[in-house]
């Protein structure tokens, strides 16, 4: 038994897993860094007052548009050209966009670079999770994806530290350099054996994104894979993003910073990703682990609205708990990858997390519309309840994939 344990441990900490984790680390660094430096960077470009909000939303939308486009692009190419090629290509693009962002002198240039960065940011996680899922044995692949997510989300902590110590241009340069340095490891990382096994077999159609919508059962698997992730983005997009407004409504005894709320949320997410991945291995069930963390999310939302009159420190503690509860993000992407065959796996694993992020738009829109008639807190509770109900329904419709053999192909015309 001991040699097997050593082998398993060596596989979990193998170079492909470490590179995927570090790639996601730099990915999250860039994603969070923009949110942190958005205001000072726009002030440097000459904007102030309401234009900081308006142009900030515009830049965020440009980045999100890039991620939605990139999710489809990298997913399709990942199934056609290989997981490794796409993982490093996406790192290369968002690293160059980061470096160029440091020299932006106008809003159009800034917006263009955020769109390009978004395209790059869309590919790394899906390609990395697909690669790790395919190279590790089914009994330990959950540990590998747990490591990728846990290390990756800690990039948010570095982004906050760097943004506090340096000006925004230098912070972007640091992110770009980190990504380019990571490319050096490419020469020693091997491609997924499952992908290589497809070879030049012409009868196997690879990366057919439209095939996800031409068969009801396949579409149902795909839609359910996306829906189980929306409570995470309700928490991030509403409760964390608008934390200063909620703090006032809840009569928190001191000022609350959205930046600090984001930092504590991501700090909780690091431990949540680790715990959810470990739980899925312990329970030998992805679905049970996700259900537990969804229930924790429900409890965290309840606690968030019951903390009337508490201190800012308590408020940030609740944000950290919500981040921990949303730590099933690693399993969420892993489950999406495990639902589909090798010839469609990268397409799904890359598009699913980006479409789940994209759900922030309808979620925040519904929340804003509800504020007019229900008020701030009631609107958030109503939207959150709907998100959780949809997620639990979607989870019930997915198959258990813990012991699933991934070496198979999807059949479609």
| Model confidence, pTM | 0.84
Nearest to 286 by CA among 359, 222, 335: 335
Q: Looking at per-residue confidence, does 294 or 377 come out higher?
A: 294
Kindly report the CATH class assigned to 211-402: mainly alpha
Question: CA 310, CA 319: separation in Å to the nearest integer?
Answer: 13
For the chain, percent of residues with pLDDT exceeding 90: 30
Tell me if 186 sits within 8 A of 289, measured CB to CB. no
* pLDDT of 296 higher than 80: yes
Tell me if 102 sits within 8 A of 176, measured CB to CB. yes
Instruction: Report the pLDDT averaged over residues 183-209.
Output: 70
Using one digit for the tens of pLDDT, what is the confidence trace for 83-97?
Answer: 888 888 888 998 999
Q: Establish how many alpha carbons lie within 13 A of residue 109's alpha carbon, considering only the half-sphere containing its beta carbon.
A: 12
Question: Hey, what are 375's tokens?
Answer: 């008020």
In sign, the C-alpha dihedral spanning 46, 51, 53, 56 is negative
Mean pLDDT of the chain: 86
Query: Where is average pLDDT lowest: 1-5, 99-103, 279-283?
Result: 1-5
Using one digit for the tens of pLDDT, what is the confidence trace for 131-166?
Answer: 888 888 888 888 888 888 888 888 888 888 898 899
* pLDDT of 203 higher than 70: no
Instruction: Report the pLDDT averaged over residues 395-400.
Output: 93
State which fold the 1-185 domain adopts. Growth Hormone; Chain: A; (1.20.1250)
Look at residue 346 in the predicted model and tell me its pLDDT. Answer: 86
> 252 φ, ψ to 5°?
-65, 140
Query: Where is average pLDDT lowest: 24-38, 140-154, 189-203?
Result: 189-203
Instruction: Report the pLDDT averaged over residues 276-296.
Output: 92
Look at residue 304 in the predicted model and tell me its pLDDT. Answer: 94
Length of the chain: 413
Query: Which DSSP state fits 184?
Result: G
For the chain, percent of residues with pLDDT exceeding 70: 93
Query: Where is average pLDDT lowest: 272-276, 325-329, 404-408?
Result: 404-408
Q: Looking at per-residue confidence, does 238 or 195 come out higher?
A: 238
Question: CA 24, CA 30: separation in Å to the nearest integer?
Answer: 10
**In what helix (H) or strand (E) does residue 87 lie, and over which residues does it extend?**
helix 83-101
Question: CA 375, CA 356: separation in Å to the nearest integer?
Answer: 26
Using one digit for the tens of pLDDT, what is the confidence trace for 166-184?
Answer: 999 999 999 999 988 888 8
Rounded (5°) CA angle 391-385-312: 110
Using one digit for the tens of pLDDT, what is the confidence trace for 247-269?
Answer: 988 998 888 887 788 888 988 98
Question: CA 271, CA 265: separation in Å to the nearest integer?
Answer: 10
List every span in the chain annotated with CATH 1.20.1250.20.
1-185, 211-402
Query: Which DSSP state fits 238?
Result: I
Look at residue 143 in the predicted model and tell me its pLDDT. Answer: 84
Question: CA 212, CA 208: separation in Å to the nearest integer?
Answer: 8
* pLDDT of 72 higher than 60: yes
Nearest to 410 by CA among 224, 219, 228, 139: 219
Question: Hey, what are 391's tokens?
Answer: 């997620």
């Amino acid at each position: 038994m001991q040699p097997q344990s050593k082998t398993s441990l060596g596989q979990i900490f193998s170079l492909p897993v470490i590179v995927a984790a570090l790639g996601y680390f730099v990915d999250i660094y860039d994603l969070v860094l923009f949110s942190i430096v958005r205001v000072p960077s726009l002030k440097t470009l000459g904007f102030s007052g309401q234009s900081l909000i308006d142009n900030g939303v515009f830049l965020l939308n440009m980045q999100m548009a890039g991620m939605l486009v990139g999710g489809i692009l990298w997913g399709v190419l990942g199934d056609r050209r290989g997981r490794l090629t796409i993982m490093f290509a996406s790192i290369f693009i968002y690293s160059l966009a980061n470096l160029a962002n440091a020299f932006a002198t106008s809003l159009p240039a800034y917006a263009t670079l955020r769109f390009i960065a978004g395209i790059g940011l869309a590919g790394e996680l899906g390609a990395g999770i697909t690669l790790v899922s395919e190279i590790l044995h089914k009994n330990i692949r959950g540990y590998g994806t747990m490591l990728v997510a846990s290390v990756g989300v800690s990039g948010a902590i570095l982004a906050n530290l760097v943004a506090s110590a340096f000006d925004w241009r230098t912070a972007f340069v640091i992110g770009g350099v980190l990504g380019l340095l990571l490319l050096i490891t490419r020469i020693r990382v091997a491609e997924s054996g499952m992908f290589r096994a497809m070879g030049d077999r012409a009868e196997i159609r690879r990366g057919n994104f439209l095939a996800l919508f031409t068969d009801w059962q396949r579409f149902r698997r795909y839609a359910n894979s996306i829906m189980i992730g929306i409570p995470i983005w309700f928490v991030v997009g509403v409760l964390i993003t608008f934390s200063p407004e909620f703090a006032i409504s809840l009569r928190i005894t001191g000022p609350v910073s959205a930046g600090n709320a984001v930092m504590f949320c991501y700090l909780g997410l690091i431990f949540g990703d680790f715990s959810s991945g470990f739980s899925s291995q312990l329970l030998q069930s992805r679905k049970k682990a996700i259900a537990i963390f969804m229930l924790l999310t429900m409890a965290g939302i309840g606690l968030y609205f019951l903390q009337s009159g508490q201190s800012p420190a308590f408020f940030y503690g609740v944000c950290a708990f919500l981040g921990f509860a949303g730590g099933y993000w690693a399993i969420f992407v892993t489950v999406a990858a495990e639902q589909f065959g090798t010839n469609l796996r990268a397409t799904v694993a890359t598009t699913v997390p980006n479409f789940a992020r994209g759900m922030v738009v309808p979620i925040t829109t519904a929340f804003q519309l509800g504020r007019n008639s229900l008020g701030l807190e009631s609107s958030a509770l109503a939207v959150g309840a709907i998100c959780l109900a949809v997620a639990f329904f979607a989870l019930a419709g997915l198959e258990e994939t813990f012991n699933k053999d991934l070496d198979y192909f999807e059949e479609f015309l």
